Structure 1
Amino acid sequence: MQINLTGHHIDITDSLRDYVNSKFSRLERHFDNITNAHVVLTLEKVQKVAEARILLSGGEIFANAESDDMYAAIDSLIDKLDRQVIKHKEKLKQK
């Protein structure tokens, strides 16, 4: 899976990049056919926003999360994406 990481009003440090890569490996365990992920980390005054668009075989998934801490926002984002990926995988199995 190719992960494109972009920051708006925030510098992407190596620790943030490693954290996002380690969290996205959890998604790969549940579904192998993830081709591309575009993650945008944004700083809006006091809120930190993480959003991602994932391209899968047979579709596309989008989620966003906000928090006071960037790492908490990334955790929340991964939880949302994980639920959506599992739901997408179940839909494919039913067909």
Structure 2
Amino acid sequence: MTAVYLAAYHFDGAAEELLPAYDKFVATIPPGQLLLHTCVKREGGITIFDGCPSEADFTAFSTDPGFAAAIADAGLPPARIEPLGEVHAAHGGVSP
């Protein structure tokens, strides 16, 4: 597995309102650009688990004013960003 640094982006609010904004945001991401990306509906909002190639890439992406502008343009509130660490293993096969 290629190195992946995982972070959680927590968006608080009504999930029913946040999910369409998330869909609008993710539609702006070019195909093939996401390494590891999962959106989870939870009590009190949504959380996006997203992987970057390295911690440095995560830091650059998550602090980029363009990222903040893109989520605001999609209708999402500012995210609570939680760096999680390097992924040791990931297993797939589940689809919504």
Larger helix percent? 1
Which structure would you say has the larger RCO, counting Cα contacts within 8 Å and 6 or more residues apart? Answer: 2
- Normalised by the shorter chain, which TM-score bucket? 0.3 to 0.5
TM-score, normalised to structure 1, is: 0.33
Larger strand percent? 1
TM-score, normalised to structure 2, is: 0.33
